[in-house]
Amino acid sequence: MKFYFPDSQDLVSPTYDFHHDEYSPLRVRQRDDLYAHEILDTPPYSGLLVSKSIVDGAMKGAGKYTSAQRARLYRLGVERFFRLPKGVESLGDNGAFNYVDELVPPVTVEETLDFYIGCGFDAGVSVDHIIFGYDPLASLDDVDPAWAERRRITLRLAEEFITRVSEQNLNLQPVGAAQGWSPASFADSVEQLQKMGYQRIALGGMVPLKTKDILDCLQEIDNVRLPGTELHLLGVTRVESMDLFSDFGVTSFDSTSAFRQAFMDDRNNFHTENDAFIALRVPQVDGNPALKRAILAGRVSQKDAIAQERVCLRVLREFDGSAGAIERAIAELDAYETICQVNRSHQAEYERTLTAAPWNACECSLCKTLGIEIAIFRGTERNKRRGFHNMSVLANKMKKLKSNVLTSTTRSNHG
């Protein structure tokens, strides 16, 4: 099972000073900062997914790339721009979520192919239009007209996409985008895409679906899926169900969940193969907007906040795993939360994290190098590294799943 990480220009500085929370004055971000596949001993993903809307911008605003970065990507190509090691693939798509509110996609097949070929992607997804709705009982004919029109647009553009790839003999694996609102509509989309010549198909719009709904769709698709047709799940991560997904031809997926949970989740910030732990929250006094507002409003003493921030960091860096060290760390973290006017205490969750000390048991290069620093919720450099660690855990989970290559190519009603 291949995992693709959607790019959003997430890099970390290898020379960042954690004790002083400072960057090197000589740092040049694009030259010196590292991607996850560069800072970890083993790449935590099989490939990168890069959206045209991230690079070029979309209806919802500018992309994540500066004009200089965009120019470098087109000039160097994805392999050199991302410094991809051997075995890490590149997959392009349009980022249809960014124009979901439009009646028709604001990007053409020609523009999309210019992006894919201009940047040298290994594979590219056809232009699609997301259907955000699910009704398993709706037929192909009796359904919301807007849903039906989006599916027609997606299939029409997919046909134009693969025709141009074939006629122009482009060096690109075409991936057909399938949209639907039910098992029957997804299966019909896959059947039509296969007739066009697609051997790899990306299933879109499934992020909001429950696992049971996804399995229902995959089971229906399997009735029409040809031997050798591979399925990709766009934006879906259900690790506990990946074995089942693979039985129905799913060979790859993409998601940012493991990475984003490192700093977006309330509790599950630090992942292990069998568990997840809260990170130890020590926000920077001069870098936390809520805390800065409280200081400016006179609700918090800046002097007291800085003093307690330093105490927390010192205690955590001196942490030796003993009962006394756990008790002291919890007390100091709780005191800092009080100063920061945190709404609820995390004492019990901190005790669980400190007792387990999962960074000590982790074999990834980041945990070995940083120790407890990677478990501190504080600034982008620690938080992104923790996200990279989480992806390495996900990669290990994927490796332990049963091989799906033979299963996906032989298990079919037509096999």
Q: Annotate 194-212 with DSSP letters as a single string.
A: HHHT-SEEEE-S-TTS-HH
The catalytic residue positions are 93, 254
Residue with tokens 């089971």: 219
Question: Which residues fall within 8 angstroms of residue 314, CB to CB, at 6 or more apart?
Answer: none
Q: Which amino acid is at 8?
A: S
Taking a C-beta distance cutoff of 8 angstroms, is the pair 319, 339 a contact? Answer: no
How far apart, in whole angstroms, are the C-alpha atoms of residue 43 and residue 229? 26
Q: 363: Cβ–Cβ under 8 A, 6 or more apart, which residues?
A: none
**Two structure tokens written together for 334:** 């709780």
Residue type, 366: L
**Structure token pair of residue 189:** 């989309």
* Residues ≥6 apart with Cβ < 8 Å to 109: 126, 127, 157, 160, 161, 164
Q: Taking a C-beta distance cutoff of 8 angstroms, is the pair 74, 118 a contact? A: yes
Instruction: Give kind and range of the element (H or E) at residue 123.
Output: strand 123-125
Residue whose tokens read 């604001």? 106
Instruction: Give the Cα separation of 70 and 96 in Å (integer).
Output: 19
Characterize the bridge pairing of strands 250-254 and 2-6. Answer: parallel
Q: Residue 83, Cβ neighbours under 10 Å: how many?
A: 12
Nearest CA-CA partner of 168 in 115, 117, 111, 121: 117
Query: What SS3 state is found at 386?
Result: helix
Query: Is the Cα dihedral 272, 274, 279, 280 positive or negative?
Result: negative
